[in-house]
Amino acid sequence: MEYSHIIVRYGELTLKSGNRNQFLKKLTKNIRYNLQGLKGFHVQTKHDRMYIHLDNNDDVVEIMNRLKRVPGIHNFSPVLRAPLDIEEAKKAVDNLLKTKLDKEYTFKIQTKRPNKNFTHNTNELNNIFGSHVLVNYKNLKVNVKQPDFIINVEVRSEGIFIFTDFIKGTGGFPVNTSSKALLLLSGGIDSPVAAHMLQVKGVEVEMVHFQSPPFTSADALQKIFDLTIKLSEVVGKIKLHVVNFTKLQTEIVKCVPSNYTMTSTRRFMLRIAEEVAKREGCLALATGESLGQVASQTLESMNCINNVTNMPILRPLLSMDKVDIIKIAKDIETLEISNLPFEDCCTIFTPKAPKTKPRLEKIVAYESRDDYSELIDDTLTSIETYIFDKNGCVIEQDMKEIAEKKEQKEDFSDLL
Ligand code: ATP
Ligand code: MG
C-alpha cells in the first residue's frame, strides 16, 4: 500500500492562539530540519494541521520515526487521500485493507465530516463504508466497542482521508519558542533527561559543565560533548560552556569540612552558572535533581544551594521516579552515553558522609573563612564555549572576551 500523505496534528498548540503563527513557522522549520537527508516528500502547513505530501513511500518509515521526536507534534497519521468521491474513497479503503487480509479481524468505521457541504452525512458515510467492507472482506467483522482497528474516514475540503493509525508524538511546544535556560549538565543519567524535558516545552537550553582536570579525564569531557551532540539532534544547535573547576574545587575541599564540601561545591557551581546565565541572556538555571535521599537532593540541601542565587532554578525531574527517568533516557538515546563509566568532578570529590540535611548558617560560616572572589573570577575567565550540532562542534568561543567586556562596565559610583 502507498500512503499519499502524513497528517501531522499539533494538539497543545491550539491553546496558544496569540503565538500560533510564530509557533507554526518554527515547527515547520524544525520538521524540515529533522527530515533533512530524506527524499520524496514536501511539507504544507495549515492552520490546524500539517500535510506531508509523499511522492513515494521509500523513506516513509524513517520519516515517521523522526516525526516521533519533534516537539510540538501531538500525533500524526499516515493516510490515503481520495478525491471527494465515494467510489474513489472506497478504492482507498481497499488499498488500506491490503495489510488486513491475513486473518480474522474486527473493525469499525469512524467518520468525521468537517466539510459540511459533502453530499452524505456522517451516519450515511459510516453505513456506506461499513457495508463496503462487510460485503467484500469475509475475514472482517464489526465490533463497535472493542475493534482490532478503526477505519477513520475524514471528509475535508481537500479530499477524503482514509487511515487507521494515530501515532503519538512528543507533544509539548516547538523547540525554541520560549526563552533560554542554562542547564547544569553532568555526565549522569538525569541532567540530559532534564534538558530534553525543557526542550520539549519549547525552552532553548544552553549547557554548562564543570570539569576538574586532571582529576576528571578527557574521556569524561568527551562524554559531555557526546551528550550535547545527541541532545542537539532534534533542536539544531546547542551551546555548551565548559568550566575548569579544579582550583575552586580543591580550595573548597581544603577549607570546608568534608561533610559540607558537596553542598559548598554545588553552591559554587550555581554562582558560576548564574554569571554565565546572565551573560548569555538565560532567564533561569536548570538541573537534573529530583527529590530523593541522596545528600544533594533533599529539601534542606536545595534550600542551602538555592540561597546563592536569585534566579529561578528549574528542576523538571523533581518528582519523577528513577525508572521513568531511565525510560526517557533510553528513548532519547542518552542512556548509553550516560552509562559510560568516566567520573564526574562531583563523584571524585564526594565525601564519605555528605550531610543530607545541611544547615544554611553553617555553610555560610564555612565559606566566609576564605575569600573566593579572585578564584571565581579566574574560573569565569577560563570558561570555554562550544556550539554543537548533530555533526559535532561548530565553533569554539573564548569567554575571556565576554569577561573583559563585563569589567569595562560603566562606573556610576560618583552619582550615588
Ligand atoms: P545526574 O544524573 O544528572 O548527574 P545525579 O542523580 O547523579 O544527576 P547529582 O550528581 O547529585 O545527581 O547532580 C545533581 C545535578 O547537579 C545534576 O543533575 C546536574 O544538573 C548538576 N551537576 C552535577 N555535577 C555536575 C557537573 N560536573 N557539571 C554540571 N552540572 C553538574
Ligand atoms: Mg551525577
Per residue, what are the HEC states of 179-226? CEEEEECCCCCHHHHHHHHHHHCCCEEEEEEEECCCCCCHHHHHHHHH
Contact in structure between 182 and 284 (CB atoms under 8 Å): yes
Q: What is the pLDDT of residues 352-390, one digit of tens each?
A: 778 888 999 999 999 988 888 999 999 999 999 999 998
Q: What is the pLDDT of residues 24-60, one digit of tens each?
A: 889 999 999 999 999 889 999 988 899 999 998 889 9
Residue 115 CA to residue 37 CA, distance in Å, equals 36
* C-alpha 215 to ligand 1 mean position (Å): 17
Count CA atoms closer than 13 A to 271's CA, side-chain side.
20
Q: Which residues of 193-228 are buried (b: 16+ CB within 10 A; e: fewer)?
A: bbbbbbbbbbbbbbbbbbbbeebbeeebbebbbbbb
Mutate to test the pocket of ligand 1, among 182, 184, 186, 379 (most ligand atoms within 8 A of CB): 186
Closest residue by CA, ligand 1 atom 17: 288
- Pairing between β-strand 75-82 and β-strand 140-142 as defined by DSSP bridges: unpaired
Q: Give ion ligand 2 contacts, CB < 5 A.
A: 186, 188
Contact in structure between 188 and 164 (CB atoms under 8 Å): no
Q: Which ligand is nearest to the CA of 305?
A: 1
Q: What is the pLDDT of residues 129-186, one digit of tens each?
A: 999 999 999 999 999 999 999 999 999 999 999 999 999 999 999 988 889 999 999 9
- Pairing between β-strand 204-211 and β-strand 237-244 as defined by DSSP bridges: parallel
Closest residue by CA, ligand 1 atom 20: 287
Binding residues: 184-185, 209-210, 266, 288, 297
Q: How confident is the model at residue 411 (pLDDT cuts 50, 70, 90)?
A: very low
Read off the C-alpha cell for 289. 535533581
- Residue 200 pLDDT exceeds 90: yes
For residue 182, give the nearest of 78, 292, 80, 313 by alpha carbon.
Answer: 313
The answer to whether the CB of 262 is under 6 A from ligand 1 is: no
Closest residue by CA, ligand 1 atom 1: 188
pLDDT score of 22: 84
* C-alpha 343 to ligand 2 mean position (Å): 9
Could you identify the residue written with the cell 464489526? Answer: 142
Closest residue by CA, ligand 1 atom 2: 188
Q: H-helix or E-strand containing 398?
A: strand 392-398
- Residue 17 pLDDT exceeds 80: no
pLDDT score of 371: 86
* C-alpha 188 to ligand 1 mean position (Å): 6
* C-alpha 250 to ligand 1 mean position (Å): 18
* C-alpha 400 to ligand 2 mean position (Å): 28
For residue 64, give the nearest of 48, 41, 47 by alpha carbon.
Answer: 41
For residue 346, give the nearest of 161, 184, 205, 204 by alpha carbon.
Answer: 184
pLDDT score of 405: 55
Closest residue by CA, ligand 1 atom 12: 289
Query: Average model confidence (pLDDT) for the chain?
Result: 90
Read off the C-alpha cell for 159. 479530499
391: CB partners within 8 A, 6+ apart: none
Q: How confident is the model at residue 412 (pLDDT cuts 50, 70, 90)?
A: very low
Contact in structure between 108 and 10 (CB atoms under 8 Å): no
Residue 70 CA to residue 67 CA, distance in Å, equals 5
pTM of the predicted model as reported, rounded to 2 decimal places: 0.87
Q: Which ligand is nearest to the CA of 185?
A: 1
The answer to whether the CB of 190 is under 6 A from ligand 1 is: yes
pLDDT score of 292: 83
184: CB partners within 8 A, 6+ apart: 191, 207, 208, 209, 210, 269, 270, 273, 285, 286, 287, 288
- Residue 407 pLDDT exceeds 60: no
Provide the Cα torsion 57, 62, 65, 69; round to 10°.
Answer: -120
Q: Coil, helix or strand for 356?
A: coil
